[in-house]
Structure formats: structure tokens, C-alpha cells
A and B are shown apart, each in its own frame.
Chain A
Amino acid sequence: MKIDFSHKQAAHCENGVVSNLMRHNGFDVSEPMVFGIGSGLLFSYLPFIKVNYAPVFTYRVLPGLVFNRFAKRVGVKVKREKFRNPKNAKARLDENLKNNNPVGLQVGVYNLIYFPDEYRFHFNAHNMVVYGKKEDRYLISDPVMERVTSLTEKQLEKVRFAKGAFAPKGHMYYPTAFPEKLELESAIVKGIRQTCRDMTAPVPIVGVKAMRWVAKNIRKWPKKIGQKKTNHYLGQIVRMQEEIGTGGGGFRYIYAAFLQEAAVVINNEKLKEFSKEMTEIGDLWRDFALDASRIYKNRSGESDGYNKIADQLVIIANREENFFKRLKKVV
């Protein structure tokens, strides 16, 4: 069985799955729109959780949150199911496919055979759509891939029941009820407000405060943990910024694209200016990554560039703080 499903590549997996599932159900919502309404943008630093022997840095909200917030704000109902037993998980999936219902799945990347080996880490918050089954192969629309692909029953079971942090436990989700017309206007305003609130929150681990904390640590790390480890951490910061399989995806640019699109939908010219500004901030993040990479290119260390990139990060934090404080006032 094969459901007539149109695959569209996305910059980020969760946005892509939501956008593709919405389009399948007759609602054309772009990836940036999903990301903006779902308040996907964030910065967070979790020094007490280690992944690949480095602390967690993230530029986006927790997996699953984008779809939940988006759905709530536009009036779509989402059903989510998790399973203990792989057999039940497979049966429920097959049932949905039989009913012509493509579903989103949360999966682990480590056993995803169509990714290059180098990209296969134990990262468990990847998302894909299953839209059919041919003999014993499931038809897969993975939003980070240009084209659709497929996995055997065994291969799919393995990625659905990957273990470790954020284990997917067969997690399957799909929209079940839609409004007649999507309430985009109010949803956009709600989405923007929440992002402004999160980014300027008075907590050290999220938003601009977390960026400043990282900057402070970058200055300390070379002495405290040595240059080799510091460089490893810097590499992790850059890889989380945008990389397949880590949940990254150049989020500042996606957000700028959202603001540009939102300006037209809610008829607010000011958002276009904000979009331009967010693009500039995205460029600053890329400069930061480039300068950080110049340091860790030489793995042994011997660089005095740490203070310089910490300064850059502080500048970005100041720009973003100023940006979100003003953005809050125009919506």
C-alpha cells in the first residue's frame, strides 16, 4: 500500500514533518511558519547534561514542542502514541497506513542506515514520516533528505526503539482533527510573544542569559579543562548550530524567513525590518562558528582566540536581547 504523499525537503526534521503532514491534509503551511508559530527558536545551555562527552547546547526547543504548540495555536488536534512492545508499535503503524493515514515517527539516528556513518550518533530526536509499505519495506519521507527512501521492518523497528537519552519508545504522532480555516493571525502573535519571553527569560540556562554564560565559560575553559577539551566543546557548539542528525538547522535564518512571511499574513510591515535584522544576527552566528573553527582546526590548541569568540558571543547576546525586547512591542 502506498499513500499519495508529496515529500518536500526541509532544513529541520520536526518542522519538515509537520509542514509535510499539514500539506497532505490540505493545509499549505511552510516550514518557517510551523517553526515560528510553534516558537521553535531558543538558545539553551545545559552544562550538567553531557552528550558525546560535551555539555548540551541547543538552538531550539525540546523535540515535540514545536508541533504541540503549533497545533494548539492553529486549532489542530494531534494524537501521540508510545509503546512498550515493538509488536504493538508495528501493528498500530500498519493500521494507520491501511487507513491511508501517513504518520510522523520519532526515531534514533544511530541505526539510520541511509545516513553516512560519520553522522550516526546516538541522537534520538530525529523525525520522519512513514507513508506506505511495499512488501516488507516501509516507505519513508525523511525531511532532511532530498528524496524519499525506505527501510525494512527490522531497520525501522531498530530506529523506533533506539535507547539512551530521549529514547523514542516507538513514538508515533499524527493530526486527527482540523478547523475549517487555520487561525494563522492570532497563532503568529502568540508564537512570537512566547519566543520573545523565552529568549529574555530571567533564568541562566535559556535565552540570552545562557549565551552570556557560555561566553563566560569559553574564557575559563582553556585554563580549567585544558585546550583540547575546550576545542571539543567549541566543536559541539558549532555542530549543534546546524547539522543533520543533531537537531540543528540554521534556526536564525528560518526564523527570519518566518518573520518575513508573517509580515504579509498579519499585515505588519515592521516585521520585515525585524526579518532583515534577524538575518544579520544569523550572519553573526556564522562568523562566530567560522572563528571558533579556526581555533579547533588545530586540535592541540595553542590559540589565544578564546576571548575573541567569547566577545563575539556577548555581542550576539546583546543584539538578540535588544531584538526580542523590541519585537515583543510590535505584535
Chain B
Amino acid sequence: MFFNSSAHNPSLDEFREEVRAFCRKEISGDFGRKLELGQHLEKPEYDAWLKALAGRGWLAGNWPKEYGGLGWEPEQSAIFNDETARAGAPWLIPFGVTMVGPVIYTFGSEEQKKRFLPDIVANNLWWCQGYSEPGSGSDLASLRTAAVKGTDADGEHYIVNGQKTWTTLGHWGDWIFCLVRTDPDVKKQKGISFLLIDMKTPGVTVRKINTIDMGHHLNEVFFDNVRVPAENLVGEENKGWDYAKFLLGHERAGAAGVGKFTRYMDQLRAVLAITNEGGKPLSESPYFRRRIADLEVSIATLAALSEDQRTAFHAAGSPSLIGAGALKLRASELQQEILQTMTEVLGRHGLAYQTDALMAGWNGELIGPKESAGILYEQLIRRAATIYGGSSEIQRTIIAKSAFAG
């Protein structure tokens, strides 16, 4: 259809106000200040925020009610994502609630649902993603971490050997969901299984990866003869690739992070207002005014694309491939463009990058606007936006394939 129906739903205005009020209350004081400065959060701070959301049922608001969710419609989820991002809320760590949770409630056993879902809804455990490997990035299906089935005195199990990489915040992880190879002799997509692994199991080692922003967010996870009970297999053996694809669709159906862009634009306006050129605020510069207008055209387009995807999802039960690809592509590129523009402003202050200022409690002398370090950190780390979750090149390949398939 050319234009899906997507009328404004006034019954959700109250919910929007409720989320706003919640954010105003929770994102305040030292916590609010840290977020404003873009400082790195510690695990307890993430947990406190996620727990607060869980307390309202909002953490897993879009989950079906039978699994502890509120059964939100996509529209309501979008409002929630949008408002929390606008308010500068911490990243909604997706590994449990957006990724492994839906896989478990869709494909997992009753036993697994009982065992894992309540802890995800309540944010009691920290989940990590074990997908990429050093040799398997864009070509994820070539993954080689092996899980070999066996039996011992304690029962059926898998022995896992191999290595995962780019594991975000894996150093805080309690559990990791992994794609592992259970059959090496079939077409590569056909021999993959979806396994849940307790990271405290002997043989699991987490090693940090330093990134270009000079921070520690990513990790390698090594598996050396790790014994995983067979009951931790989700769904059927060798069907893991299907579950991974389901998960990807689930992930994409959600947000393009438009709320976050609104937040970025606020920051851009703030640094423009306090940066002078020739003694005049840069916010008066014709170039930057035009730049803001230009970025807002892109943001409005992205918001419309995101909403269209949502209604299409609603109508057809699945997002369109082209739409999902376009959303990932444009959202990631736009994010980088906004951050480049902010960097252009900070160029006027000499581009000092005081990484110490990203740590709470630092009270050295700042160079440039107070947000500088946080913006430059984002500028660097968001280079990954066009790489992770299917690189821009992969997105274009998917879109092209879909286009040529007619």
C-alpha cells in the first residue's frame, strides 16, 4: 500500500505524559548530571534504572502479558522508546529484554520460560550476546564455535569450544546466548544451534577489547571445554539460524532511535549557543542554521519511515525487508552525521578529548563546553553504528536482493 493508515491515537497521550513524568523524576540529581555530561555509567547505575523501569512493568512492556509484559502495541513501545531517549535515559540494554527474551518465549520450552523470563522482566540477570566471531562478522553463518553433544554422570550436555567477539558489556555478564555449530557437515546455516550459557561455568573467559574512544565496552569471550547442560538448548538443535533471523526481525521492528536524535539535536543547539566565532554565537551562523534544518529533514524522514514500518508490521505481521534495511542504514548514517556536525562545533575549541571527564567525580579543568568529552566519545564509538547489526554494505545487499527479486 502507498500510504498506510496511521492516525494519531489520543488515548496514548496520557501514557506519553506518564513516561515523561517518570523520566523527570528518575533522571535527576547526580544520575541526571552524569547522563547530561555523557559520562560512563557503572553496572549498578544501569541496574538501578532498569529496575526502576521493571518496577512499572515498562522494561518488558511490549512483551505478551502471559510472560510478564504489558502487551503494548508497537505504537506504545515507540512512544516509550522515544520519550526515554529524548529524556537522555541510559541505553536500554537490549540483550535480555529485546533479544533473548522473545526468542525464549517464542521457541523455548515451558521449563526455560519459567526459569529465565521472570529474571529478564525484573532485570535480575545481565545477558550478553554471543554471535560474532573473529572469523565471522558479516558472514555470521560461517561461525565455528563448536558444541558437541555428550552424556556424563550429570546427564546430557554440550561441550563448547571456541571464541565470540564484540561482546558488549560482557564483563558484566551473568549469562550469554550463543550461536554455536552443532553440525559441521551440512550447509552452514543448517548446523547452528541457540544455546544459553552461564558465564560462571568453568572454561569461560572474558577479555576486554579497547576501542578507539579509549574506553572498555567490548569483550572477547573464550570457551574452553565449557560444559553446558542440554536443557539450555533453545528450541530444536540446528534451528538456531532461524531463531537468530527471528530475533533480528524483532530487533528491527522496534525503534530507529529517533528520540535519541532529538536528544543529539538538543546537544548540538546547546554547544552552538555557547560557542562563539568572531565574538558571535555560532547559532547565528547561516551554515549551522542550514545544517540543523538539513539534519531535521533527515530526522523527520527517518521518523516517518520508522512509523511506516511499524504500521506495516501491524498490518502484515512482518516489517518489509527494504524498509528495515533502509531504517538501519539511514539511522546509523544520520547518527554519524549529527555527531560530525557537533564535532565541527567542537573544532572551534581545539578538539581536546579529556577522557577523564567521562568518569564521575572528575573535577579537573574542562576545555570547551561541558558536554565535549561525551560528544567526542559518541563521535568515536558511533563509527560502529554502520558496522554492527549488519553493516551498511550488508543492508544495501539485502535491499538490492529484495528489489531485484521483485
Specify whether A and B are partners.
no
The chain B residues found within 8 Å of chain A, CB to CB, are none
The chain A residues found within 8 Å of chain B, CB to CB, are none
